[in-house]
Structure 1
Amino acid sequence: MRFGKTLQSSIYAPWKSHYIDYPKLKLLLKESDRSSDNDEVEEWTDNDEGAFVEELLNVQLEKVHTFQVEMYKQLRERTSKCESKLEELVASTEKDKSKNAGDGAEAGVGLAGESTQNQLKEVLKELDGITREINELEKFSRINFTGFLKAAKKHDRKRGYKYRVRPLLQVRLGALPFNSEDYSPLLYRLSAMYSFVRQNMSKESNGRLQSPSDAPLDGEKYVSQKFWVHPDNLLEVKTYILRRLPVLVYNSQASNVAEGTQNDPTITSLYFDNQKFSLYTQKVERKPDASSLRLRWYGQLTKKPEILFEKKTMREGDNSEEIRFQIKEKYVQSFIRGEYKMEKTVQKIQHRQGHNNQHAEQFVQNVDVIQKFIKENNLQPVLRANYTRTAFQIPGDNRVRISLDTNLVLIREDSFDSERPCRDPDSWHRNDIDDAEMEYPFNRIRKGEISRFPHAVLEIKVREGTSEKSREWVTDLTDSHLVKEAPRFSKFVHGVAENFEDYVNSFPFWLSELENDIRKDPETAFEAEQERKAKRAEDEFAVGSLMGSRASPAFKPAIGSPVGRAMLDQSAGKAATKRALVPGLTPAVDDAEGEGESDGGGEPTGKQGAHTLAGLRSLFPTFSTSKYGRAHQQGPVQLPPGVRHPGKFIKDSGPVQVEAKVWLANQRTFIKWQHISVLLASLSLGLYNAAGEANSVARGLAVVYTLIALFAGAWGWWMYISRSKLIRERSGKDFDNILGPVVVCIGLVIALCLNFGFKV
């Protein structure tokens, strides 16, 4: 797509007049859309050059920069006003409480009052507006910055034989750095206000605050997902998350919520391995008990930060065990060599808690484990990972934890090459980096020793047992176009694969994807995700019901993802109804919290009665008691205002596509019935021929067996035809029907009992 069209599609309507006038610049450059065969050679004069340079560097650049500065100033002022409103609100509430207490009256309801809640809602609405315009301002800066570079490149390509404007533009862009604005301080202030408003507005039905209902428990487990985020989508992902979770601070102070002046911390991880890269190989090949070892600290090493020694071992089922302890910088080298065993730290623990303290014994055991691990594997520092981390979590509520790592740099830290080592073999870290306090982008590092990761790394951890409602917004984010899933991504593995290519023979699967553009169109990504979910749920239902499974689809078609909807409504005139009901399956009943789940292979408690009832009712094919069927019986879904029914679902719009195993399962069932019919017919024929004309009882029973055989054959054929029709129609009815087996079994039991009775 040409940049002119890209610019037009990216314009935020209220700010339309403040964007770069790209068509005017093309006109001044005498750039037309005519084909090259009809182009007439026009002379480019000094006046033409002066007019173009004046328009580009003075008029357009000043216009864009002035608007960006003014808009950012307005956003800061609006943010300050919101902070003042909240401060006044808290002050007035405290004043009312003091007055009521002084009068001997009962304390007021504080922030729970109706008028206070209305004010909080107004502040929240204003915060949403500020957040939205911060995103638009960042896009405004980026697209205009690109426009100036495109215009200069086009000029130099056409008129570069005599005039060059790119160097002048770079000087002006350096003096007016509208594209390098740091929005982090403003985002931290918004995060703090969002946290305050959320805590005082999120009332449950009983009037209680939605405090961390899931208190931290020992042995808690998390479901972790990793994603890549393109730099163009980074700010939008940040603002989307901070509306739900506040930003956490990594410092030694007591504050847990970020302040406006707090910067994201820089984290350095120093990974260990040997010259054979045994730990790397185990991790890539996902071998059992694969371990990794690293040193980790925050900020610059010259500031004497806390250093953590961490050993992580992967266990079965993606579970892991972690050993960590704190160590001082001056003891790291002697510890790695095995000369120091943390005796001073052990003495301090024993002095405070006693010699027979269990904590001291565990600490000594952890030290021995790590030192033994280093010695047995001949480990040394080989890779440095440096990145800036933004963490999101509600203080005291660990149900959802999110970290966003940006500016990820992976640097060689080995001393394998004795002639030209990256690190002094007598030191445990690179002194050239730490002593000089190098920071991103580490331009002084030699080429071949550094790899800069092009994306941000987003990790989302959701605690097991968290309700569907609590993590719904997380699902909207992970399903959106803003992120790309990167399962099992590892900084250590990626760094070794990039910087030690000649040392290793196996590589992670994601390396080939780095060359691709991970950005996706919002609408296309949303529709593709919903189609994929609908098809997966449909296949699960069809196969599960046919094979006797009681599993029902877990997919509930969304009525517009908030993330996707926010992106689709960027341009003016795009109505919210563009996100109409996703054509897919009828929403299934969410049974995640209402019914217990079995820990083993048996039937879930609380479901046995319902299962039996469903089996009896399945005698009538038109009446389904499954969760999917009950969802259909509940009548039409009530759609929100402005959302209309699509009329025809995506699943019904094209040719019927059902996996072959569904048809084959139906055919296998039909063949089984015919097999039973043939066996019973053979039994009845043999009995009839062996009985003779005088034995009327045996001949009568043979006729009974024949009738049962005919019923079994007819039933199998009828069920085969009926189920084939249900599959083609994608019906929500149950596929099971126990009437036929019951009739055959009862008929055989009666016939055998009569046979036995007459014989006796």
Structure 2
Amino acid sequence: MLIVHDLSTSARTWQPQTLGPRGRYKFKPGVVVMKFGEQLRSSVIREYQWYYIAYDELKALLKTPLVAPRTKENPRPARREWTEEDESRFIDALEQELDKVHTKQKVKAIEIGRRISSAEREVNDVVARLDSRGPLGRDGNAASGEDAPTEEEFMMLEEDLSDIIADVHDLAKFVQLNYTGFQKIIKKHDKRTKWVLKPVFAARLKAKPFFKDNYDADIVKLSKLYDIVRTRGHPVKGDSAAGGSQGSFIRNTTKYWVHPDNVTEVKLLILKHLPVLVFNASKEFETKDSAITSIYYDNPEKFDLYEGRLKKTEGAEAIRLRWYGGMDVEQIFVERKTHREDWTGEKSVKARFGIKEKNVNAFMKGDLLPAAIFEKARKEGKKSAKQIDEDERLAKEIQYSVLKKGYEPVCRSFYNRTAFQLPADARVRISLDTELTMVREDNLDGKLRSGDNWRRMDIGIDWPFSQLPPQDIERFPYAVLEVKLQTQVGQEPPEWVRELVASHLVEAVPKFSKFIHGTATLFPDRIKLLPYWMPQMDIDIRKPVTSHFGISRPGQSTLTTTSDDDEDDDDDSDDELVEVSHSTLIREPDDRAHQLRTAREDRDLQDRARGNALDIEEELASQPLNEDYPLYDSDDEDAENEALEEARQVGGWPYYSKLVKKYAKQAGVQTLRAFSLLNPVPRPTEMPSNGSMAPIRRDQVQTKHFKAPKGKKIHVPVRVEPKVYFAAERTFLSWLEYSIYIGTIAATLLNFGSKPTTMSFVAAGVFSLVAILSLIYSVVTYLYRSQAIRTRRAIKYHDKYGPTILCAALFVAIVLNAVFELKSRDLI
């Protein structure tokens, strides 16, 4: 991948390196191509500028001297063979760079830890003074005096914490960019020299794992401190346990993918508005506190739960068992998610109840009845009788479904979740799931994974589960961001949420499901219907920075960041590409920041003047699709060819009938294609660009043509409501009505004249033919649409050609009738 900078529009885009022959790229004039070396130079943070990997120097060491000088006859002479001395020199330089980066990362991490501890002491001191102040006097100041914290102190603390947050962000970017640099230079070394260094250097990286530091503990501390300072010492109190008091709840959820390079930045951005929802505020944060594991059930023969959730059919269910923390927890939550269509007037609901781990096997096998589970809860009286009755009814329904329909554990999902929410306030809840992994739990291929137990016991929360074979595990490459909102009708989400989901840091993937993705990838031989996002897995979701949005230091504008690509840049002609200036990235001055804020405020005022803006899912749905072909192809054509070949081997009528259908279909397609040439196609009008700053907007949605693997189909979500069926029927009845009118005209011409003539017979015949053809067309169209609606297929439900053809046929019939009539009267 290359970063392409268009000088005429000041826009940056990603381009694959395979657009042209090796060493040649098809870019128009005025375009600057940035490869990784240039990206590294343009992404330098001033504090770290002397500690980045010396990528260009290491790259130069890989070029051995030329065997002969360059001449016109030999412009690209061969280079000397790579020797052991060259290898030793390169390894020494590489070790020095690794020591330099590792030392800087370690020192900076210790510094950040000390700054956080110092800030914690200052915040605690201010809070203690705030709690110990006396009653307020008439002037609003503390009666006991001068030690009460002032607004200036809180502002200074907030500024210090913002600076620490920016330090964490810069360190994360420094580590990410250097780690990518080491990976690229090793890959380049192995390809150019043919000496394999990657396995050996992997051991060196493990000895100095500067890239493995987890900043979650620092983020939790910073979140707590920032929340105290932001609320001026009065943070919101409430239940913040992981399981908490969550029984049955309803939320509007939107999901996004976040590239690992942007995970830390997203966390730091969110914590400045919402505190991290910790499991237990009284204990120190541990890694296992964020671990969440779920076991999903389904029928391993039919996978009907998978198909129902994928197609979003009314009443589709998902049954799972979930626990928080390690494998030693006793509390397991049995959950059921039920999908409801909008036209029902109900909302999709997730309901669950708790059960002891030792009782799970007996409950799922039917040996332990729900009444026995809740007997102790009724005696203790910790819950209301109504809540216990609801939980017991839910347990009965889940147990009945599992036993009746043969549901078994098929898939496990594991991830570490960082949740952001005000305690006891679910209006805005944002969660970020990292290290997402799906694992097989079934025994279908004769391999005992879970056996008779409800979960396999050979793994816990030791990500990345390297002990598992590749066919048993799917490591998801991105983090999953879930934005859950509970807003009133017509109420917009907070502006910072809108900016986050519209930024370059996230990629919208509506209706993404861990259960669906895990089942589709872990059972490739049994799953034929794939979710719509599967083709996107092979596309890099990273985007160049399109707006000044991100982490900024107090008093400075937002720091723009760049994402790097994982593709190699191995061509010897790399240095011949045009490059941008090698300047260090400096934060913009305050006047520029003021201009950006002013432009953003103007944009916000315009949005509010226009009314409620679309959210990301609505904007995706509102984008026009290319109508020449569906968004996703399936293998229908291959299946038809296979069926025709099988019929040919059988011979007889089955073969000839399929052959006739095939040629008839091809003739119909060609006819429609010929008529489509008469259909005018609108062309967009190019708008002139000016030098002024365009309003911050979301990236345009690109439609691409994907083809499903052989034997599989891509399922595109289709929203079907009852009125869709009635609309199809009304359209069919309208066609029938016009067909009857045309037939009536034909009968009138034939029967109500003074004496039937040849011309009247011809005119009546033409009108009768049009009526019959319109009847046949309307019946075929209605049956086709009805079948597509029932199966939720993504077809074009509008008719571009039928009404046009009908009007043209009527026009021709009327003209012919007029001509024949005029001829019969000798007027022409």
TM class by shorter chain equals: 0.5 to 0.7
CA contact (8 A) 2:559 2:587 kept: no
Distance 1:244 1:573 in 2: 23
CA contact (8 A) 1:476 1:562 kept: no
Equivalent in the alignment of 1:483: 506
What percent of counterpart residues are identical?
33
Letter in 2 for 1:297: W
Distance 1:156 1:507 in 2: 37
The list of structure 1 runs, each at least 4 consecutive aligned residues, that deviate by more than 6 angstroms after superposition, is 31-36, 103-107, 109-114, 209-212, 216-220, 466-470, 582-586, 647-651
CA deviation string 1:602-629 (max 9, x = no partner): xxxxxxxxxxxxxxxxxxxxxxxxxxxx
**2:75 alignment partner, one of 9, 13, 37:** 37
* Counterpart check, 1:509 vs 2:532: yes
CA contact (8 A) 1:18 1:64 kept: yes
Distance 1:28 1:329 in 2: 59
CA deviation string 1:267-296 (max 9, x = no partner): 111111112011111111111111111111
Q: How does 1:433-452 map to 2 (within 5 A)?
A: 433=459, 437=460, 439-452=462-475
Size of the aligned set, in residue pairs, is 541
Distance 1:355 1:245 in 2: 30
Letter in 2 for 1:309: V
**2:290 alignment partner, one of 265, 272, 277:** 265
| Cα separation, partners in 2 of 1:488 and 1:470, compared to 1, 3 Å | closer
* Counterpart check, 1:334 vs 2:362: yes
**2:347 alignment partner, one of 291, 305, 319:** 319
Q: How does 1:85-124 map to 2 (within 5 A)?
A: 85-97=122-134, 108=142, 116-124=150-158
Equivalent in the alignment of 1:79: 116
Equivalent in the alignment of 1:176: 208
**1:54 alignment partner, one of 89, 92, 107:** 92
CA contact (8 A) 2:130 2:148 kept: no
Structure 2 residue runs without a partner (length 5+): 3-34, 239-244, 563-584, 613-689, 698-828
| Cα separation, partners in 2 of 1:40 and 1:286, compared to 1, 3 Å | closer
* Counterpart check, 1:7 vs 2:40: yes
Higher relative contact order (CA closer than 8 Å, sequence separation 6+):
2
Distance 1:466 1:259 in 2: 40
Equivalent in the alignment of 1:568: 560
* Counterpart check, 1:388 vs 2:413: no
Q: How does 1:347-746 map to 2 (within 5 A)?
A: 347-353=375-381, 357-417=385-445, 419-424=446-451, 426-433=452-459, 437=460, 439-465=462-488, 471-523=494-546, 526=547, 561=549, 566-568=558-560, 571-572=585-586, 574=588, 576=592, 579=596, 581=599, 587-589=606-608, 646=692
Distance 1:266 1:468 in 2: 33
For the residue of structure 1 that corresponds to 2:211, the secondary structure is helix
* Counterpart check, 1:141 vs 2:155: no
Distance 2:145 2:420 in 1: 25
CA contact (8 A) 2:249 2:351 kept: no
| Cα separation, partners in 2 of 1:501 and 1:647, compared to 1, 3 Å | closer
For the residue of structure 2 that corresponds to 1:269, the secondary structure is strand
CA deviation string 1:17-48 (max 9, x = no partner): 12122222233344699999334635766655
* Counterpart check, 1:127 vs 2:164: no
Q: How does 1:100-249 map to 2 (within 5 A)?
A: 108=142, 116-160=150-194, 165-200=197-232, 222-249=251-278
Question: What is the CA distance between 1:307 and its match in structure 2?
Answer: 0.5
CA contact (8 A) 2:62 2:189 kept: yes
Question: What is the CA distance between 1:465 and its match in structure 2?
Answer: 2.3
| Cα separation, partners in 2 of 1:410 and 1:112, compared to 1, 3 Å | farther
Distance 2:444 2:81 in 1: 62
Higher helix proportion, which one?
Answer: 1
| Cα separation, partners in 2 of 1:362 and 1:166, compared to 1, 3 Å | closer
| Cα separation, partners in 2 of 1:111 and 1:408, compared to 1, 3 Å | farther
Question: What is the CA distance between 1:65 and its match in structure 2?
Answer: 1.6
For the residue of structure 1 that corresponds to 2:599, the secondary structure is coil
CA contact (8 A) 1:400 1:462 kept: yes
Distance 2:141 2:315 in 1: 58
Alignment TM-score, normalising by the size of structure 2: 0.59
| Cα separation, partners in 2 of 1:358 and 1:592, compared to 1, 3 Å | same
Distance 1:427 1:321 in 2: 28
Letter in 1 for 2:125: E
Question: What is the CA distance between 1:94 and its match in structure 2?
Answer: 4.2
CA contact (8 A) 1:89 1:116 kept: no
Question: What is the CA distance between 1:439 and its match in structure 2?
Answer: 1.9
Distance 1:297 1:217 in 2: 14
Alignment TM-score, normalising by the size of structure 1: 0.64
* Counterpart check, 1:307 vs 2:360: no
CA deviation string 1:388-447 (max 9, x = no partner): 111111113222101111111111112334x334331x22222333xxx36211222222
**1:21 alignment partner, one of 54, 64, 75:** 54
For the residue of structure 2 that corresponds to 1:423, the secondary structure is coil
CA deviation string 1:200-247 (max 9, x = no partner): 179xxxxxx9999xxx99998532111111111111111111111111
Question: What is the CA distance between 1:171 and its match in structure 2?
Answer: 3.3
Letter in 2 for 1:485: A
Distance 1:354 1:497 in 2: 41
CA deviation string 1:446-485 (max 9, x = no partner): 2222211111111011111299686111001000010011
CA contact (8 A) 1:211 1:397 kept: no
For the residue of structure 1 that corresponds to 2:427, the secondary structure is strand
Distance 1:304 1:354 in 2: 21
Structure 1 residue runs without a partner (length 5+): 203-208, 527-559, 594-643, 652-760
**1:70 alignment partner, one of 88, 107, 119:** 107
CA deviation string 1:97-136 (max 9, x = no partner): 3xx79x9999828999996221111111111111112111
Letter in 1 for 2:226: Y
Question: What is the CA distance between 1:11 and its match in structure 2?
Answer: 1.0
For the residue of structure 1 that corresponds to 2:481, the secondary structure is strand
For the residue of structure 2 that corresponds to 1:587, the secondary structure is helix
For the residue of structure 2 that corresponds to 1:401, the secondary structure is strand
Letter in 2 for 1:88: D
CA contact (8 A) 2:289 2:324 kept: no
Distance 2:120 2:150 in 1: 15
Question: What is the CA distance between 1:356 and its match in structure 2?
Answer: 11
Distance 2:453 2:430 in 1: 35
Letter in 2 for 1:38: R
| Cα separation, partners in 2 of 1:473 and 1:109, compared to 1, 3 Å | farther
Moved more, 41-50 or 22-31: 41-50
Distance 2:696 2:199 in 1: 53
Distance 1:391 1:359 in 2: 26
Letter in 2 for 1:175: A
Letter in 2 for 1:188: V
Distance 2:537 2:429 in 1: 26
| Cα separation, partners in 2 of 1:130 and 1:650, compared to 1, 3 Å | closer
| Cα separation, partners in 2 of 1:581 and 1:415, compared to 1, 3 Å | same
